[in-house]
Amino acid sequence: MVTDEKKQELLERLKNAVIQYDEDASKEASNEVVEIGMDANEAIFNGLVSGMEEVGRLFEAQEYFVPELLMSADALYAGLDILKPHVQQMDLGVKGSVVIGTVEGDVHDIGKNIVKMMFDVAGFTVYDLGRDVPLDKFIEEQLRTDSDLVCLSAMMTTTMVGMKKIIDEIKSKNPNVKIMIGGAPVSADIAEKWGADGYAKDANNALKDAINMVSSLKKMKEEADARKRA
Amino acid sequence: MSETGTMTRRERVLKLFSGEKVDRPPCFSGMGNVTTAGLGQFGYKFAALHSDAKMMADAAAQTYRLTGFECGVVPFDLCVEAQALGCEINVYAHVDDILYPTIKQKIAHNEEEMGAITVPADFVKRGRIPLVKEALRLLKADIGGEVAVGSYVLGPFTLAGQIMELNDLLKLSFKKPDKVGKLLDTLADAIILCAQEFVEAGADYITVREMGATSDVLSPRVFKSLILPYLKKIFGAIKSHSVLHVCGKTNDIAGFMVESGATAISVDQKNDVAETRKKIGNALLFGNYDPYNVLVSGTTEVVRQAVRKCVEDGVDAVWPGCDIWPTVPVENIKAMLDEVTNYRR
Ligand code: B12
């Protein structure tokens, strides 16, 4: 039996490993979780992810900058790799999949990578197309993976306009896909005008919106299935 | 083009850099300011400019001719040094819209390759460095009697981000600052060589663009410990007037920027210039209107207001936060110049 005390200690160590971007400590604590047979889901969400949430706060408060964020993510992934095979069922209420990338002509991918990390952390299946992604590639990848969500990032006013074409194309082929857009020049107004389903000003909000969208998508599907059965 | 003050446009800029009194702040830039309006007059495509010295120089001069904007600047992209170091670039020749060139193939993919980077012996003969020099000569011959001619190079950290994966660079800046420092030192040598060539070809001032080290990405502490030493090395070696530009958040590093030894510093719309002015005393400060949301998509009245704000906050030159977007309306640049010329603090 795992004592509560031991559990607390390990959760604390996992959390701190992420906050202090210490990959080795993260691996060590994760291995111990597995050895003593502690619940892996709990270790992920109350340990690693809770550490990442704190990192997000430190980033907003400008105590942490992008390098710290990236290193914390590495520490999180290191633990996740060990814990994942032991997860009973990764159930977060929603299980979503997302195609993400920075649009053609744009190599600004720091923000996109942070958004991607949040999706990873939350257990989404992420198909990352990288940066400077030709418009057609988004459409192909969505069709190939049948993802729930497509996320487009652009950091320049000139490359941002490419998003409209992608949104139109995807919507015409597959009206149920939810599309979320973001990046510094993008706004909620633009998202609405171009027919995107969502916009978020930062990675935390992106994840919240995504979870909502995927939930509503699942609900729609269930309702449709129920109607079919009826 | 007729003059709009007691000095010529060229004199005003050069005097400002030399620390002499000027009749009003000049309105110019050290970064790209090509316009589609100008390109239209020649029938040039944006994608073609980057690899043709004559087209590059024509396009740069045309902004001044069309609007009175008080400088001429080449090149227009950020890939020149990286290409000369061996990176492959993409100019999007197939695209009619305006897409800026990007690096297609980086030259370092891990720590080991990063450590192996050296400056090739024939560096200044490689890539488009000779082409930019030729463009500078043509530009100088064309409008150099009337306005100051500028060019730019990247800062060492931003250049490092062009030749290797930025995520890796950012993490290594923390984990292995010594190794990253060594790379920045090597890149500083390349940047100095490049700047020297541009000065020799006629550039009156060189802007060093270190946008990768903005406080949106990197902490002021790391800016000071890891980047500032190499900026000092670069500015110590540039023979012409010089400007250090960093975009994004810069209030906490403005003091370090001045310490770099650049003749002037340049910041964008995210900087609170009134506060920076207090912090840096009389050091030359250029900025800081939003080159897109004000100059391209604003009305002429929005532009005039932004100009007044820059001057009131205490800039020494009215200057954009980044490259001016090519689709800028000509009447907006004209309104900006008119406001700078006629507004008195
Ligand atoms: C770093 C940087 C670069 C680096 C990029 C390196 C990289 N791999 O990313 C380099 C040096 C290569 C670069 C190049 C250029 N750049 Co630049 N760059 C920047 C800079 C300084 C920081 C951007 C950044 O990473 N911010 C930090 C991250 C964390 O924030 P973020 O990206 O906004 O992301 C957050 C949100 O937007 C949101 N989000 C992001 N994506 C998504 C997606 C979705 C779906 C959602 C929901 C949310 C979301 O969540 C993120 C996390 O909270 C900005 C200025 C600035 N301070 O913003 C200029 C800036 C973006 N660049 C600019 C320019 C002009 C250029 C160049 C054209 C210059 C040139 N002459 O070539 C080139 C373009 C190259 C190209 N074709 O892409 C301009 C763009 C102007 C405009 N409005 O169009 C800016 C705004 C500078 C300025 N002051 O004008 N640049």
Q: How many domains does chain A have?
A: 2
pLDDT for A34 beyond 80: yes
Q: Is A176 on the interface with B (CB under 8 A)?
A: no
User: Of ligand 1's atoms, which has the minimum distance to the CA of residue A198?
Assistant: 47
**HSE (side-chain half, CA atoms, 13 Å) at B267:** 30
Quote the percentage of chain A above a pLDDT of 70: 93
Cα dist from B326 to B62, B100, B194, whole Å: 12, 11, 26
Q: Which has the minimum average pLDDT: A28-37, A106-115, A166-175, B270-279? A: A106-115
Among the listed residues A215, A108, A200, A220, the one whose alpha carbon sits nearest the alpha carbon of residue A151: A200
- pLDDT band at residue B108, thresholds of 50, 70 and 90? very high
Question: What does the CA dihedral B105, B216, B223, B230 come to, rounded to 10 degrees?
Answer: 40
In a domain, A23, yes or no: yes
Coil vs helix vs strand at B179:
helix
Out of A58, A86, A114, a domain closes at A86
pLDDT digit string (tens) for B309-344? 999 999 999 999 999 999 999 999 999 999 999 876
Q: Using N-to-C axis directions, what is the helix angle for B273-280 and B300-313, rounded to 10°?
A: 20
* Structure-block tokens of residue B62: 């045309």
Q: How confident is the model at residue A89, as a pLDDT?
A: 54
Q: Are strands B317-320 and B88-90 parallel, antiparallel or unpaired?
A: unpaired
A131 domain residue, yes or no: yes
Contacts of B141 (CB under 8 A, 6+ apart): none
How many Cβ atoms sit within 10 Å of the Cβ of residue B167?
Answer: 17
Helices (H), B201-293: 220-222, 228-237, 254-259, 273-280
Does A145 reside within a domain? yes
Distance of alpha carbon A164 from alpha carbon A171, whole angstroms: 11
User: Tell me, what's the pLDDT at B237?
Assistant: 98
Cβ of A151 less than 6 Å from ligand 1: yes
Are A79 and A108 contained in the same domain?
Answer: no
pLDDT of residue B21: 93
Could you tell me if B188 and A84 are in contact, meaning their C-beta atoms sit under 8 angstroms apart? no
Cβ within 8 Å of residue A185, ≥6 positions away: A154, A155, A156, A157, A160, B292
The rounded distance, in Å, linking the Cα atoms of B266 and B285 is 6
Pick among B174, B247, B250 to test the A interface (most A CBs inside 10 A): B174
pLDDT of residue A221: 66
pLDDT reported for residue A123? 77
CA distance B17 to chain A (A): 31
Could you give the maximum distance between any two Cα atoms of chain A, in Å?
59
Peptide bond into B288 cis (omega under 30): yes
pLDDT at residue B234, as a whole number: 98
| Fold exhibited by the domain B9-342 | TIM Barrel (3.20.20)
Q: Is residue A91 part of a domain?
A: no
**Which atom of ligand 1 lies closest to the CA of B209?**
11
- Name the average pLDDT for chain B: 95
Query: Which residues constitute the domain of residue A81?
Result: 4-86
Question: What is the arithmetic mean of pLDDT over A185-194?
Answer: 91
Give the integer Cα–Cα distance in Å for B270 and A140: 38
Tens-digit pLDDT profile for residues A157-188: 878 888 999 999 999 988 889 999 999 889 99
- The interface pTM score, or ipTM, of the predicted complex is 0.86
pTM more than 0.80: yes
Report which residue type is found at B210.
E
**Domain's final residue, options A29, A60, A86:** A86
Distance from CA of B215 to the nearest CA of A (A): 8
Tell me: do A65 and A114 sit in the same domain.
no
The pLDDT of B216-223, averaged and rounded, is 94
Q: Residue B323: count other Cβ atoms within 10 Å of its Cβ.
A: 21
Separation in Å, CA of A108 to nearest CA in chain B: 10
Residues A103 and A187 in one domain: yes
Write the CB contacts of A56 (distance below 8 Å, at least 6 apart in sequence). A203, A204
* DSSP category for residue B323: P
E strand or H helix at A192: helix A188-193
Q: What residues contact residue A67 under an 8 Å CB cut-off, 6+ apart?
A: B170, B171, B173, B174, B218, B222
Residue A92 lies in a domain: no
| Residue A70 to residue B167, Cβ atoms within 8 A | yes
Distances (CA, A) of B141 to A80, B48, B146, B201, B214: 62, 22, 10, 11, 36
Q: Which of these ranges, A220-229, B16-25, B72-81, B174-183, has the smallest mean pLDDT?
A: A220-229
* Whole-number Å distance between alpha carbons of B130 and A182: 39
pLDDT band at A230 (very low <50, low <70, confident <90, very high): low
A143 with A68, same domain?
A: no
Let me know if residue A51 belongs to a domain.
yes
Domain end residue (candidates: A86, A120, A136): A86
Residue B125 sits at the chain A interface (C-beta within 8 Å): no
In this complex, is the C-beta atom of A60 within 8 Å of any C-beta atom belonging to chain B? no
Categorize the per-residue pLDDT at B218 as very low, low, confident or very high, splitting at 50, 70 and 90: very high
Query: Are the beta carbons of B82 and B103 closer than 8 angstroms?
Result: yes
* Structure-token pair, residue B177: 């600052």
Spacing, Cα A187 to ligand 1 middle (Å): 15
Cα angle, residue A69 at apex, residues A131 and A52 outer, rounded to 5°: 115
Q: What is the pLDDT of residue A95?
A: 67
Query: Can you tell me the distance from the alpha carbon of B307 to that of B338, in angstroms, rounded to the nearest whole number?
Result: 10
For residues A120 and B295, the model is more confident at B295
Residue A66 lies in a domain: yes
- Per-residue pLDDT of A83-134, as tens digits, reads 888 876 555 555 689 999 999 999 998 889 888 877 887 778 899 999 999 9
- For residues A75 and A171, membership in a common domain is answered with no
* B344 CA from centroid of ligand 1 (Å): 35
Residues A81 and A134 occupy one common structural domain: no
Residue A147 pLDDT exceeds 80: yes
- Pocket probe for ligand 1: among A65, A108, A138, the residue whose CB has the most ligand atoms within 8 Å is A108
Rounded CA gap, B77 and B153, in Å?
10
Q: Is B99 on the interface with A (CB under 8 A)?
A: yes
Whole-number pLDDT of residue B6 = 79
Residue A46's CATH number: 1.10.1240.10
**Same domain, yes or no: A52 and A158:** no
CA-nearest residue to A113 within chain B is: B167
Collect all residues with Cβ–Cβ distance below 8 Å to A86 and sequence separation of at least 6: A33, A34, A40
Residue A61 lies in a domain: yes
Closest among A164, A157, A227, A161 to A194, alpha carbons compared: A164
Residue recorded with tokens 């993510």? A73
Q: Are strands B241-246 and B72-73 parallel, antiparallel or unpaired?
A: unpaired
The residue behind tokens 């010295």 is B53
